[in-house]
Amino acid sequence: MDRSGSGSGASSWAARLAALGLPFALLGGLLTACGTDTDVPVLTWYINPDPAPPADFQGSFGQAGIAERCSTDDYRIQTQTLPGDGSQQRIQLARRLAAKDPSIDLMSLDPVFTGEFSAANFLAPISEDQASDLSADALAGALEGATWDDRLVVAPLWANTQLLWYRKSFAEKAGLDMSRPVTWDQIIEAAAENNGTVGVQANKYEGYSVWINALIQGAGGAIISDNEAGVDASIDIDSPAGQAAAGVISKLAHSPAAQRDLSVSNEGTVLGPFAGDRGAFQVNWTFIYANYRGDDATFDDLGWTRYPQTEEGKESRPPLGGINIGVNANSDDVEDALTALSCITSVENQVTYALETGNMPASATAYDDAELKQAYPEDLLELFRNSIDAAGPRPVSAYWSDISSALQSTWHPPNSVTDRTPAKSADFIGEVLQGRTLL
């Protein structure tokens, strides 16, 4: 092309024009190719990343598989993957939704975003009929995390919860009766006396708020109430329940049962020590069962029971996680997206998804599925279901991310927690909500 263009001025211009035009022509061709390929409307579903499929897996995996199965003659569902980190998912979605981006139709949301996204009117309302269909079979904890202002605003796809995982041999050595509910005091003392450790999540991140919230709810209290009042919600953390939570955290932080990296611990850092010589207890999500499957020594010794009680005799409220599906209020095709919502969160899809990824269903009947019963011990499955049913979700508030950050600022590091911490954090949360201080 260079040679032909070097002749005269005119032909060099022609060559340049041709060079400029060629890519555009190609691009145009590609675009039309895309267009003609699909005559049906395309719904775009923004998903959180799924775990990697096993090497021998055929076809579409996880949420992409659900998208394929729920595509109909009227529309096709395609997935877009969000960042792995929950707070980055929130930022990316909220910025697009606030700009009324119609290209998002469906989205996978962490339950803690329910309040914020609903209050901002980002989510398309679900009709009462559809809501009652979607919630008929859902476990209570999962439902609570999907509800805003007494209405179902998102549909649960799967639910996560935490259990107390323990080494059977250690519990036996310590003489703890694990068939009965145990308290935090009991396991901390048992671990300390028998040279074991208790794994928790206490880095300065959302996981620490999960722990604090579970401790407070377990003592019958709450961080805030009257959540729908937004910045004027009532701040209840400075209460006997708050004191009980602070007591547990302080006790562990000053006990030999604490792991050395307590102040930077997360779901991953506690896995190694649990399998090590001093492994005794850890509170962690449902993935633990699959996690130790390859490690026979630990797996055979792995025991599970309900999340520990904050105060003896008071039922614990295990943490709740998982993913709910929401529909963008500004989607070009809200009607089709709402239809797809019911398919995506159907019992069959929840079961398949649980079998593929190990993420537990949010629907009660899904737990009766024969295949699922084959994949997990029956008592574990039962425990998952009961824990999700009794779970204490983090407060569904439009300001949860602020409250959580304020909580982390005042309760971190764990060894600084005293009986004055609940009062201090109540003041700070109030200041933050009223915009009187920087966070």
Partner 1 sequence: MSAATAPAAHLDRPPKVSDRAKAENALGRKLVLPAVVVMLVVTAYPMIQALYLSLFQYRLTTPDDKSFVGLGNYATVLTDSLFWRDMWNTVLIMLVTVAVELVIGFAFAMVMHRIIFARGVIRTSILIPYGIITVVSAFAWQFAFSLNNGFVNSWFSWLPWISSDTNWFGDHWHAMFAIMVSEIWKTTPFMSLLLLAGLSQISEDMLEAAKVDGATWWQRLTRVILPNMRAAIMVAVLFRALDAFRIFDNIFVMTRGAQNTESVSFLTYRQVIEQFQLGLGSALSVLLFLSVLLLAFLIVKLFRVDLAAARGEA
Work out the burial of residue 102: count CB atoms within 10 Å of its CB; fewer than 13 is exposed, 13-18 middle, 19 or more buried. middle
Q: How many residues would you count in the chain?
A: 439
For residue 2, the one-letter residue type is D
DSSP per residue over 78-145, as a string? EEEEPPSSHHHHHHHHHHHHHTT-TT--EEEE-GGGHHHHHHTT-BPPPPHHHHHHHHTTB-HHHHHT
Minimal distance in Å, beta carbon 90 to partner 1?
A: 9
Query: What are the E-state strand segments in 153-209?
Result: 155-161, 163-167, 197-199
Q: Is 312 exposed, middle or buried (0-12, 13-18, 19+ CB in 10 A)?
A: exposed
- Number of Cβ within a 10 Å radius of residue 44: 21
Cα→Cα distances 85→24, 110, 359, Å: 37, 11, 17
Query: By C-beta, is 98 or 140 nearer to partner 1?
Result: 98
Instruction: Report the nearest approach of partner 1 to the CB of residue 306 (Å).
Output: 33
Q: Which is nearer to partner 1, 14 or 120 (by Cβ)?
A: 120
Nearer to partner 1 by Cβ, of 204 and 314: the residue is 204
CA-to-CA distance for 146 and 137, rounded, in angstroms?
Answer: 13
- Give min distance, CB of 324 to partner 1, in A: 17
Q: In angstroms, what is the minimal distance from the CB of 438 to partner 1?
A: 5
CB 203 → partner 1: shortest distance, Å? 9
Kindly tell me which of 80 and 88 has the beta carbon lying closer to partner 1.
Answer: 88
Structure tokens, 153: 């605003």
Structure tokens at 138: 């859902």
Q: How far is the CB of 348 from partner 1 (least distance, A)?
A: 34
Shortest distance, position 298 Cβ to partner 1, whole Å: 22
Whichever of 318 and 326 has its CB closer to partner 1, that residue is 326
Residues that bind partner 1 (CB under 8 A): 87, 91, 94-95, 98, 116-117, 119-120, 122, 204, 230-231, 264, 398, 401-402, 405, 435-439
420, 421, 391: which is closest to 406 by C-alpha? 421
Cβ nearer to partner 1, comparing 30 with 264? 264
Of 283, 223, 232, 255, give the one whose Cα is nearest residue 410.
223
Nearer to partner 1, 257 or 433 (CB): 433
- State the nearest-atom distance from the C-beta of 161 to partner 1, in Å: 27
Of the pair 69, 204, the CB lying nearest partner 1 is at 204
